[in-house]
């Protein structure tokens, strides 16, 4: 009978069935990965949510050429044909082509994902069809959807005819490219995050891939491991660690047997000079394979004896999972940081900040260290008004303690909301935050050193918002009304951003504010594309799928938005709490219609409040 899970972590067993000594088990968990020994582990149910929206994830029925009843339906099915196993995409598309067209069709293996602007233009009496679409991205064999800049609408001409003595319609002329509609991408694939360690090896960073829904479940682990071995997506590669050179899967991954998933990797996958490498590898595998995990993961490295892992202690390697739920909520009222009622710790002192420093505050950010828990650190960054000049005040202190904040002079210009990115307790790494000043991005440190300008290559315009994913590496920005994703890199030259990738949000004409809602989705506010009104949208990080959290919140621009990401094991696909600022007022956005955050929402009563004075700049302990 299996032992119950304890805080020590997963039980590690040898082939003989003998338990590894408790000291070794403790070393595996406590010794590495920035994982605290006092993080609670929760019981996990039957499996994770498999996509942006809940529902049946079985693959929908496929349509062949002869099932199309007319030209319009044939075009729709043609734009679905590339979906599924990428090795068969070309053959499936050619099955819609006439023999002569198929013989000259020389498209590359990359699949161009397009969003149709309107229904295909079919003219009665004509065999010419035009598909007007925007290119969203390119889907590769590795399941990565590489975004592309929005270059406007591209017309794709097709010719559809019937052929004598042949049933149905044929595409007789087509562009030399594999086309896939975004609707088909959503219908025939599921989004599956795989995970890589950040370069500090303190936490895992998700890398979203597209897995065909019609892939047999017993083949999924082998595909996931193949993707891990091939390495991270290009846009993440500067911020995460690939598996070691020479890592290979030895043999196939057999189907689950006796509640056990068996994986054998080459000896190079665990460098002998890295004592934490095995534990980090199995955590990376368990997160990446989480939807496929049975009771036990059996991991064998080269010719070594197998290790068996069961339990949920690996979950603490993902910082999104480690976020406490519900969040501690704060606002700025009368120049002070105040806690909100109906929030954990409502009667506690403000973290890090001594009471005397809690004044003249305009905006603030407070974050957990990379290993939250008693004895670990928290960090604070306050934008204050000091003699008509804005000053950034920063500092860090162990949990439960307060410290003096260090002043950091800011350049002239309006200041945005500060946000902590990398909040490492290691002196060598330190804590790094981001802030916009005068529409430009800057970085700061908890030690009070001078702020640094951070270039945003290839994204020109006023930066109205910057948001950091819980992993501390992936960054979302609103630049000139356009949404971008990038990664934050650290080095001798200070924090730098990778070249940002544009994310298309079709429901919005422009984006003014953004934050992370889950580890793979964003909450975005901006002007609607169809009318002069403002909306709040929940979108996947590639813009492929979205829903409207608040379809219409008026005409005032959202100047700031704060969402609290939900855990990937919660089964939720949207955050529980979203707050925003518009026209100088603060709102809760997910309680039906938006509601003003009022003085009565503060944890400590305010006797005789000044008429018209209201809380502003809401934020969470992150």
Residue 31 has pLDDT above 70, yes or no: no
pLDDT, average across residues 348-374: 88
pLDDT, average across residues 414-422: 93
pLDDT, average across residues 375-399: 89
DSSP string, 290-311: GGG--SEEEEEETTSPPEEEES
**In this structure, what are the phi and psi dihedrals at residue 115, rounded to the nearest 5 degrees?**
-110, 115
48: pLDDT confidence band, cut at 50, 70 and 90? very low
Report the pLDDT value the prediction gives residue 607, as an integer from 0 to 100.
84
CA distance 362 to 403: 20
Selection from 182, 180, 126 nearest residue 158 by Cα: 126
39: pLDDT confidence band, cut at 50, 70 and 90? very low
CB count, 10 Å around CB of 524?
31
| 565 and 467 housed in the same domain | yes
Q: Is the pTM of this model over 0.75?
A: yes
**17 contact partners, CB below 8 Å, separation of at least 6:** none
Bridge partner list, 156 = 131
**474-486 confidence digits (pLDDT tens):** 999 999 999 999 9
Report the pLDDT value the prediction gives residue 567, as an integer from 0 to 100.
94
* Whole-number average pLDDT of the chain: 88
Report the pLDDT value the prediction gives residue 425, as an integer from 0 to 100.
59
CA distance 177 to 135: 12
Residue 34 has pLDDT above 50, yes or no: no
CA torsion through residues 433, 435, 440, 445, sign = negative
**102-118 confidence digits (pLDDT tens):** 999 999 889 999 999 98
| 152 and 204 housed in the same domain | yes
| 75 and 190 housed in the same domain | yes
CATH assignment at residue 596:
2.120.10.30
**Domain tally for the chain?**
3
CA distance 194 to 172: 40
| 75 and 97 housed in the same domain | yes
pLDDT, average across residues 453-470: 94
| 18 and 75 housed in the same domain | no
| 80 and 161 housed in the same domain | yes
Q: Which of 260, 289, 317 is at the close of a domain?
A: 317
Range of the domain at 556: 321-620
| 80 and 146 housed in the same domain | yes
CA distance 207 to 201: 16
Report the pLDDT value the prediction gives residue 294, as an integer from 0 to 100.
95
Report helix, strand or coil for 119: coil
Report yes or no: 541 and 485 within 8 Å, Cβ to Cβ.
yes
CA distances for 572 relative to 286, 318, 472, angstroms: 20, 16, 21
Q: Which of 242, 275, 294 is at the close of a domain?
A: 242
Residue 9 has pLDDT above 50, yes or no: no
**117-131 confidence digits (pLDDT tens):** 989 888 887 899 999
Residue 43 has pLDDT above 90, yes or no: no
**589-599 confidence digits (pLDDT tens):** 976 789 999 99
**309-320 confidence digits (pLDDT tens):** 999 999 999 999
- Sheet architecture: strand order including 11-13: 11-13, 307-310, 296-301, 260-265
**141-178 confidence digits (pLDDT tens):** 999 999 888 888 999 999 999 988 888 899 999 999 99
Report the pLDDT value the prediction gives residue 16, as an integer from 0 to 100.
35
Q: Which of 209, 242, 275 is at the close of a domain?
A: 242
| 104 and 137 housed in the same domain | yes
Of 251-265, 281-295, 513-527, 586-600, minimum mean pLDDT range: 586-600
| 405 and 492 housed in the same domain | yes
| 489 and 610 housed in the same domain | yes
**In this structure, what are the phi and psi dihedrals at residue 97, rounded to the nearest 5 degrees?**
-90, 150
Report the pLDDT value the prediction gives residue 190, as an integer from 0 to 100.
95
| 467 and 541 housed in the same domain | yes
* Residue predicted with more confidence, 495 or 52: 495
pLDDT, average across residues 246-255: 95
Residue 33 has pLDDT above 80, yes or no: no
| 547 and 558 housed in the same domain | yes
Tokens describing residue 64: 């062949």
């Amino acid at each position: 009978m299996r032992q119950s899970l304890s805080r020590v972590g997963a039980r590690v067993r040898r082939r003989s069935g003998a338990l590894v000594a408790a000291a070794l088990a403790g070393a595996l968990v406590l010794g590495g990965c920035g994982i605290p020994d006092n993080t609670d582990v929760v019981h996990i149910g039957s499996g994770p949510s498999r996509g942006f929206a809940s529902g049946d994830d079985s693959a929908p029925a496929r349509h062949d050429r002869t099932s199309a009843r007319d030209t319009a339906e044939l075009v729709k099915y043609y734009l679905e044909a590339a979906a599924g196993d990428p090795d068969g995409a070309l053959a499936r598309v050619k099955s819609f082509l006439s023999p002569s067209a198929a013989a000259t069709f020389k498209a590359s293996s990359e699949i161009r994902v397009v969003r149709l602007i309107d229904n295909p233009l079919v003219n009665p009496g004509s065999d010419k069809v035009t598909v007007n679409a925007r290119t969203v991205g390119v889907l590769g064999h590795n399941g990565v959807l590489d975004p592309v800049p929005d270059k406007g609408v591209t017309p794709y001409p097709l010719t559809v005819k019937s052929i004598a003595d042949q049933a149905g319609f044929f595409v007789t002329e087509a562009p030399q490219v594999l086309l896939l509609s975004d609707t088909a991408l959503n219908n025939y694939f599921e989004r599956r995050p795989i995970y890589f360690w950040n370069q500090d090896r303190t936490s895992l960073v998700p890398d979203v891939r597209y897995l065909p829904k019609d892939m047999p479940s017993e083949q999924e682990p082998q595909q996931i491991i193949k993707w891990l071995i091939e390495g991270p997506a290009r846009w993440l590669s500067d911020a995460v660690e690939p598996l070691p050179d020479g890592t290979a899967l030895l043999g196939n991954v057999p189907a689950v047997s006796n509640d056990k998933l068996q994986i054998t990797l080459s000896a190079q996958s665990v460098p002998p000079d890295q004592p934490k490498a095995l534990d980090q590898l199995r955590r990376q595998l368990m997160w990446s394979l989480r939807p496929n995990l049975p009771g036990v993961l059996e991991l064998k490295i080269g010719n070594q004896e197998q290790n068996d892992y069961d339990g949920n202690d690996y979950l603490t390697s993902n910082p999104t999972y480690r976020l406490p739920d519900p969040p501690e909520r704060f606002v700025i009222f009368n120049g002070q940081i105040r806690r909100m009622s109906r929030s954990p710790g409502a009667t506690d002192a403000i973290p890090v900040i001594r009471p005397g420093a809690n004044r003249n505050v305009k905006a603030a950010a407070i974050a957990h260290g990379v290993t939250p828990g008693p004895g670990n650190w928290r960090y604070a960054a306050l934008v204050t008004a000091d003699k008509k000049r804005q000053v950034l005040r920063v500092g860090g202190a162990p949990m439960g303690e307060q410290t003096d904040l260090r002043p950091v002079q800011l350049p002239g210009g309006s200041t945005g909301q500060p946000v902590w990115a990398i909040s490492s307790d290691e002196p060598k790494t330190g804590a790094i935050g981001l802030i916009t000043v005068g529409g430009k991005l800057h970085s700061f440190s908890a030690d009070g050193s001078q702020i640094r300008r951070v270039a945003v290559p290839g994204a020109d315009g006023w930066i109205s918002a910057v948001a950091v994913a819980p992993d501390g590496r992936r960054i979302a920005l609103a630049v000139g009304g356009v949404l971008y994703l990038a990664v934050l890199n650290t080095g001798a030259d200070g924090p730098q951003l990778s070249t940002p990738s544009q994310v298309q949000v079709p429901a919005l004409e422009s984006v003014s504010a953004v934050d992370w809602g889950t580890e793979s989705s964003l909450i975005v506010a901006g002007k609607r594309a169809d009318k002069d009104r403002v909306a709040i949208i929940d979108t996947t990080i590639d813009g492929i799928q979205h829903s409207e959290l608040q379809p219409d919140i008026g005409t005032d621009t959202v100047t700031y938005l704060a969402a609290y990401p939900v855990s990937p094991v919660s089964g939720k696909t949207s955050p529980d709490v979203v707050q925003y600022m518009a026209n100088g007022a603060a709102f809760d956005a997910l309680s039906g219609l938006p509601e003003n955050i009022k003085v009565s929402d503060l944890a400590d009563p305010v006797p005789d409040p000044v008429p018209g004075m209201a809380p502003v700049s809401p934020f969470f302990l992150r």
